[in-house]
Amino acid sequence: MKLSTLGAALAIALGSTSVAAQDDYQASEKAIQLAKDNILIDTHIDVPYRIHNKWDDVSKATERGDFDYPRAIEGGLNAPFMSIYIPAHLEFEGKGKSYELANQLIDMMEALAYRAPDKFAIADSVADVEQQFKNGVMSLAMGMENGSPIEGELKNLHHFYERGVRYITLAHSQSNHISDSSYDIRRKWKGLSPFGKELVQEMNNVGMLIDVSHISDDAFYQVMDISNVPVIASHSSLRKYTPGFERNMDDDMLLALKKNGGVIQINFGSSFVTNQANTWYDRRDEAQQQAKQSGKDTTDFKAAFRKKNPFPYASLEQVLDHIDHVVELIGIEHVGIGSDYDGVGDSLPVGLKDVSTYPNLVQGLLDRGYSDADIKKILGENLLRVWRQAESYAKAH
């Protein structure tokens, strides 16, 4: 299953994502069947915005992107959360455009399920996922990345819940009217806004999962104080391996997540997985800025920089290190998969290049001594537990 040490080193050093490097990973029949015979949930796949920008019929094999139905079936994926991603543009926030785009992206997912009912079905509940799995149909759940479409109105929260959205990432790359972003140095709210605190409570009441990916550390701890329901980090990895990268979670946050009962869904993007890949972007941007200041033409700078400085792709083994650390620190019940496929561009690890490769991850877990029962928790049972708790709390309130 594993790449040879030399092969892995060469693939990473050369920035290679060649078929040969990918094919060096060979999952066993057991790993393939574990992926296919159990509910496999990935809480963050950016298909809606991808096909909004440039249409692809993902019910069939596609040349672009990280997801399509045939590859998903090959990988055992049967319950992806499709990201209703709203860019953190100032022209969107508070001007009605976020609300409009969110509804358009939801429409696209409903249309996909309508056009291919033998392949897809919208999933609004744990019961839907379980029944559709039995029926052999892929569940399309939805999560909203960036709470901008709420636009300060709790009625919009209820609207999007009725439309099938089951988690909301409170902010994205800029602070919004709900929360500060981990990427935004302005820290307007010093955590959550007053409305954001009210929204968290109402999300509990309606049964909407709270996603703490992307938000600032202060906002995270305020969510922990307010929420009566376990939360998710839909696509985050660990700061232990990317020091100073606030977008990832540190050990204290993981301990708080355990106390809350929540789950962190590990992001596969190389810049989330290794410090080397994370800092590569900083080096590129700094070099580009220096080139601009010296009056050089920077039209094709990024491509030229990448050619001279190959991107240091992470490995599948390094993704597994993140899972191992969560398990060792807070337990097997608090980790899952949030790949960010179709959301991190050409930065995916060797061995995890698209939705066909989940068996490679399963094989890696087997090789590290994880039991079948533990692997099932990582694949989907942990997320389903949290989702059930959100549903139960809402029914009681």
Render pLDDT for 170-201 as a digit per residue (tens, 0 to 9): 999 999 999 999 999 999 999 999 999 999 99
CB 345 within 8 A of CB 49: no
H or E element that contains 396 = helix 382-396
Among residues 339, 380, 394, 342, the alpha carbon closest in space to that of 129 is found at 380
Domains in the chain, ordered, with CATH? Answer: 25-274+312-396 (3.20.20.140)
247-302 pLDDT tens trace: 999 999 999 999 999 999 999 999 999 999 999 999 999 999 999 999 999 999 99
Q: What angle do CA 158, 159, 164 make, to 5 degrees?
A: 95
> How many whole angstroms separate alpha carbon 270 and alpha carbon 277?
6
DSSP string, 43-84: EEE-HHHHHHHS---TTS--SSSS--HHHHHHHT--EEEEEE
Please state the pTM of the whole predicted model.
0.93
The model's confidence at residue 9, banded by pLDDT at 50, 70 and 90, is: very low
The model's confidence at residue 24, banded by pLDDT at 50, 70 and 90, is: confident
Supply the pLDDT for residue 7.
34
Mean pLDDT (the chain, rounded):
93
Please state whether 373 falls in left (phi above 0), alpha (psi between -120 and 50) or beta: alpha
Q: Cβ of 168: how many Cβ atoms within 10 Å?
A: 27
Residue 106 has pLDDT above 80, yes or no: yes
Mean local confidence (pLDDT), 32-42: 98
> How many whole angstroms separate alpha carbon 273 and alpha carbon 198?
33
Q: Which residues contact 192 (CB under 8 A, 6 or more apart)?
A: 170, 178, 179, 180, 200, 219, 222, 223, 226
Instruction: Please state which of the ranges 6-15, 137-146, 212-221, 330-339 shows the lowest mean pLDDT.
Output: 6-15
CB 373 within 8 A of CB 255: no
Q: Name the percent of the chain lying above pLDDT 70.
A: 94
**Which tokens is 106 given?**
């939801």
The model's confidence at residue 2, banded by pLDDT at 50, 70 and 90, is: very low
Residue 165 has pLDDT above 90, yes or no: yes
Supply the pLDDT for residue 92.
79
**Which tokens is 81 given?**
């959360």
Instruction: Please state which of the ranges 9-13, 167-171, 235-239, 331-335 shows the lowest mean pLDDT.
Output: 9-13
Count of helices and strands (H, E) across the chain:
18, 9
